[in-house]
């Protein structure tokens, strides 16, 4: 029985990672169509950086996701601190409201947001793009930071007060530093989610503005390109780095949802 389960687990993860590793492998293979024999090359990376012209889209995506992540981390932390002061049941209700944007299909949410911003005269714009991404990343910060704060002994804030610290001092010297790893985790999650939020960007980006996911969408609609393998490999490595950082910050995967 144990062997069966272990084998099953192994096959499942092979299924999850085989396609990704295939792409990484092919990005290093000279043959444009992934055929054997395998000949090592960095040609596709060279082409990606010199000819593919993805730099403006990447830079835009980075700017967007960094600013969204910062804002989400700030507002999300305030929210979590506020929620801790609510009675548990009210806090649970508020959590329910907060996660609405990640449980509704993004197609529906994206359309609904597009309709409202158009109706308000904002239309497809950077403001709409920013706010739309903020609302889908905020839940991660709120949940992660809130859970950390709930797990923290409430008496440490009392202890700091007892040792002569005023309320503001307690907040900045005790509450925030204790929650700091969680805040960073939340920010990192936000960064990654926003960077990849294709559907939201698809509906809210100003016409003619291409973020990296929109650029990729157009590229893969056209079909297979070897330099795409190189791009995909780089982004997968970024994901791995993000996951390792999350692990180092003490976040566990099973608590992210």
**Shortest distance in whole angstroms from residue 46 CB to another protein:** 20
Point out which residues pair with 29 in neighbouring strands.
Answer: 40
**Shortest distance in whole angstroms from residue 51 CB to another protein:** 19
Size of the site for another protein (CB under 8 A): 113
* 3-state SS class at 40: strand
Q: Is 184 in the site for another protein (CB under 8 A)?
A: no
Q: Is 15 in the site for another protein (CB under 8 A)?
A: yes
Q: Dihedral, CA atoms, 167, 172, 177, 179, nearest 10 degrees?
A: 70
Residues 236-255 that bind another protein (CB under 8 A): 236, 239-240, 242-244, 246-247, 252-255
Cβ closest to another protein, residue 37 vs residue 120: 120
User: What b-and-e string marks burial along 165-189, b requiring 16 or more CB atoms within 10 Å of the CB?
Assistant: beeeebeeebbeebbebbbbbbbbb
Cβ closest to another protein, residue 39 vs residue 220: 220
Q: Is 186 in the site for another protein (CB under 8 A)?
A: no
**Shortest distance in whole angstroms from residue 108 CB to another protein:** 5
* Rounded Cα gap, residues 126 and 211, in angstroms: 11
- Per CB under 8 A, the list member of 60, 187, 216, 230 interacting with another protein is 216
* Rounded Cα gap, residues 251 and 144, in angstroms: 8
Say how many Å lie between the first and final Cα of the chain, rounded: 30
- Per CB under 8 A, the list member of 37, 50, 89, 162 interacting with another protein is 162
- Give the number of other Cβ atoms within 10 Å of residue 145's Cβ: 29
For residue 171, what are the contacts with CB-CB under 8 A and spacing of at least 6?
Answer: 81
How many residues in total does the chain contain? 257
Point out which residues pair with 40 in neighbouring strands.
Answer: 29
Of 37-45, 51-59, 62-70, 232-240: span binding another protein (CB under 8 A): 232-240
Residues 65-124 that bind another protein (CB under 8 A): 75-76, 78-79, 81-87, 94, 97-98, 100-101, 103-109, 111-116, 118-121
Cβ closest to another protein, residue 33 vs residue 40: 33
- Give the number of other Cβ atoms within 10 Å of residue 197's Cβ: 24
Q: Is 198 in the site for another protein (CB under 8 A)?
A: yes
* 3-state SS class at 29: strand
Q: Is 180 in the site for another protein (CB under 8 A)?
A: yes
For residue 111, what are the contacts with CB-CB under 8 A and spacing of at least 6?
Answer: 203
**Shortest distance in whole angstroms from residue 146 CB to another protein:** 11
- Per CB under 8 A, the list member of 5, 50, 89, 208 interacting with another protein is 5
**Shortest distance in whole angstroms from residue 215 CB to another protein:** 10
Cβ closest to another protein, residue 12 vs residue 42: 12
């Amino acid at each position: 029985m144990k062997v069966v389960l272990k084998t099953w687990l192994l096959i499942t993860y092979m299924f999850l990672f085989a396609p990704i590793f295939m792409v990484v492998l092919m990005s290093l293979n000279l043959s444009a169509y992934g055929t054997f024999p395998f000949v090592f090359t960095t040609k596709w990376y060279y082409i990606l950086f010199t000819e593919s012209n993805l730099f403006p889209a990447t830079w835009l995506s980075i700017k967007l996701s960094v600013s969204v992540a910062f804002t989400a981390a700030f507002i999300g932390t305030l929210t979590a601190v506020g929620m801790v002061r609510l009675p548990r049941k009210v806090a649970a209700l508020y959590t329910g409201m907060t996660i609405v944007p990640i449980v509704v299909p993004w197609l529906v949410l994206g359309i609904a947001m597009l309709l409202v911003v158009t109706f308000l005269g904002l239309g497809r714009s950077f403001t709409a793009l920013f706010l739309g991404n903020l609302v889908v990343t905020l839940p991660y910060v709120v949940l992660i930071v809130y859970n950390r704060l709930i797990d923290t002994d409430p008496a440490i804030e009392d202890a700091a007060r007892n040792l002569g610290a005023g309320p503001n001092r307690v907040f900045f010297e005790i509450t925030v530093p204790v929650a700091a790893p969680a805040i960073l985790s939340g920010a990192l999650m936000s960064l990654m989610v926003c960077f990849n939020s294709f559907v939201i960007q698809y509906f809210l980006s100003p016409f003619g503005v291409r973020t990296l996911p929109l650029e990729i969408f157009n590229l893969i609609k056209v079909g297979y390109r070897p330099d795409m393998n190189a791009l995909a490999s780089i982004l997968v490595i970024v994901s791995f780095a993000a996951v390792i950082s999350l692990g180092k910050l003490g976040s566990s995967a099973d608590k992210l949802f």
